[in-house]
Structure formats: C-alpha cells, structure tokens
Amino acid sequence: MTRIRILVVDDSVVIRKLLADTLSADPALEVVGVASDGRIGLSKIALLKPDLVTLDIEMPVMDGLQTLVEMRKLYPKLPVIMFSTLTERGAAATLDALSLGASDYATKPSNTGSTEVALERIRIELIPKIKALCGIASLKLQPLPVCRPIPKVRVRSNQPIEIVAIGTSTGGPNALAEVLPRIPKDFPVPIVVVQHMPPIFTRLLAERLASRSAIPVAEGVAGSILAAGHAWIAPGNFHMKVIGTSLNCRLSLNQDAQENSCRPAVDALFRSVAAAYGGNVLGVVMTGMGSDGVLGAQDIRDAGGNVIIQDEASSVVWGMPGLVHASGLADAAYPLDQLATEITRRVVQSRASRIFADLKSHASLEIPVK
C-alpha cells in the first residue's frame, strides 16, 4: 500500500518532531519533510510532492494564513490541515484559514502534562482527518455503528415542517456559510445545528454566521425557547437537544458520554427533534467524516420526517452524508449551492399545503345560506 506523504510546516521544533514521530508510526502515513516557516514550506511542496500538508498559523517570515493564500494559488486541490492552538486567537485564525481554503483543522495538545497523552490526542484527532481527506476512509469500510433494521416501507407524515435540524463536520463551517446566509429573513421555523467543533470555535462560528445572515444565529444556550427564523449552533463539548412539545420547545445542553466519538453529536440532536416534533422534521446531513447522523436520520425517518443530504461532488468528505445515502435514509441529495433553496422550498411548500388543506376542509363544512 502506498503511504500518504505528509509535509509538516510548524515553527516549533517540538511540534515538528511530535508530529513526524506520531504520524510516521502509522503504517498508512509517512512524513516526507518538515519546514519551520511558510516560505520554506512552499519551496518544499514542489520538491517533495506531498499528498497533504499540516500548517501552523503563527510562524515567522510567512505565517500560516499568508502561506495558505499562496498555496491555494499554486496547489488549489492539495489537502491542508491547520494545526492551531485551542485559544480565542487560534480559533479565530483557524476560521479565517477555513474561509481561505484550508481543508480542515486540528487543535494542538496543550497542558496535557504528558507526552503520551499529547501523542494520543494527535492519533485520535489528526490521523483520521488525514486519512479521510486523502481518501483512505472508504464508505465500504465504515459499517453502521449499531445494527438496527431499516424499514423498507415507512409512513410519511403529511404534516408541515416545524423544524430544520442540520448536522455537519469536516468542511462544515464553509458549508454553513453557504447555507445559512441564504435562508430568508421570514423563514417560518427554527433551525438547530450540530457542527463538530470544540469550545470557543462554535461561539466564534455562530458570531461570524450571524454577521452574514438575514436570520439571527447564536450558540445554543440551555433553556432557549425555539423561535421561527432563528438558528442555534450546539456549543463545543456539549450535546444539544430539543425538549418539550412542538408548540413549546426549548434547548437542553448536557455533557453525557460522547456519541460516535463526538460531543456535540448529530445523532443526539436528531433523536431529540424526532421525539419532540414527530414527522414535522426536515433533517439535513452535510459534509463530514465518520458516521454521526446515520442513526439520527433513521429516527427522523421512522417518525415520518424527511432527510436530505449534501451530494458527494460538493462535499469536502462524503462520510456522514454518504453513509446516510448508503443506508437508504436519504430522500434526496443536492449540491451545496442548492441546499438553502431546497430547504426553504420544502419548508414553505409543506406549510402552504397544510394551510390550503385546512381552508379546503373548513370550506367543505360550511352550510350554504339559502
């Protein structure tokens, strides 16, 4: 098997060695070179021809953002993972990098007090992302995490859509930046979102999306009452659920065990909206690695709701939506640039159809006056 060739660009000698040793220990990976700043890194790409680059943000001579801009001009399709600190400044710079074309990010292990813990963090967080972006994590090698029968025939709900639930991961920040700003101001239902991200990142993401969107977007807060035309993003390290009845629902946060190695988890959110809203749900699974969202999509469909997904061509990684599709749980797939329009169309049309049906039913009950 040909190993994935990786170039590590970081100004820290310790981090360069840590990454080189940890990544090269995996039989599928090989660190073919290191660089201490962006200018050196750019010069080594042409020479080493890596399959993927890990890129630090704060470096001398040429920092990570400057390097990324030049890299995208020369190598627009080369996968790049930003390797940043879990700080306010690091999170903001990482979101900038994602908007400039970075493929994904991983957070540097800090204050672990143990080299072994730091190595394990890298193995758990960074290595799967490298493999997914380089095409090793095949759908065929990722069975459903729990064996549950998928019904061949299901009862569809004719009720109007009362909530939209979105799940996404790798590539999600840019995908959400395409979708949420295109949702109209008078959108008639609430939107709840899980984006796999750590604390700080989710708050900054919500703030950025809010500045570009016609609808209010905020990080989820426990007890928030769901309102039409508002979007909430699950905070990092918390599962976000919807509780109550469809007429009076609010957000609930908890730190229960991870699901699919994630917290927040899409499955947890989808399961809760199916319980609270029954068949009045539109689930949306967008770009991301792993299997989170598959079981939740089944819960939505079992309740009579519908699930749509982002298509493979427009996804950074077609893991999450691809597995929903492979499991027979997707009602339809759409390119990223059509998702907002389709979400809006489905919601508005479902509600208009119900209003028309109610008016027709009311009219048939009227007794004509002679």
For residue 318, which of 145, 198, 172 has the smallest C-alpha distance? 172
User: With contact defined as beta carbons under 8 Å apart, do 296 and 322 qualify?
Assistant: no
> Which one from 104, 292, 299, 311 is the annotated catalytic residue?
292
User: With contact defined as beta carbons under 8 Å apart, do 261 and 237 qualify?
Assistant: no
Alpha helices in 134-277 (DSSP H): 172-179, 201-212, 266-277
Specify whether 169 is catalytic: yes
Helix (H, G, I), strand (E, B) or coil at 233: strand
> Which one from 36, 84, 103, 169 is the annotated catalytic residue?
169
Bridge partners (DSSP) listed for residue 82: 55, 105
- Distance in angstroms (rounded) separating the CA atoms of residues 245 and 238: 22
Specify whether 196 is catalytic: yes
Helix (H, G, I), strand (E, B) or coil at 284: strand
Say how many residues make up the chain: 370
Q: What are 317's two structure tokens?
A: 């990684």
Specify whether 350 is catalytic: no
Tell me the residue type at 156: R
For residue 194, which of 258, 149, 129, 132 has the smallest C-alpha distance? 258
CA-CA-CA-CA torsion for 306, 311, 314, 316, nearest 10 degrees?
A: 90
> Which one from 196, 224, 267, 272 is the annotated catalytic residue?
196
In the chain, how many H helices and how many E strands? 11, 14
- Distance in angstroms (rounded) separating the CA atoms of residues 228 and 326: 32
Phi first, then psi: what are they for 123, rounded to 5°? -65, -40
- Distance in angstroms (rounded) separating the CA atoms of residues 348 and 344: 6
User: With contact defined as beta carbons under 8 Å apart, do 20 and 9 qualify?
Assistant: no
Q: What are 17's two structure tokens?
A: 């060695």
Phi-psi label, residue 101: left if phi above 0, alpha if psi -120 to 50, beta otherwise? left
Phi first, then psi: what are they for 81, rounded to 5°? -110, 120
88-99 and 172-179 helices, crossing angle to 10°: 70
| Residues classed as catalytic | 169, 196, 292
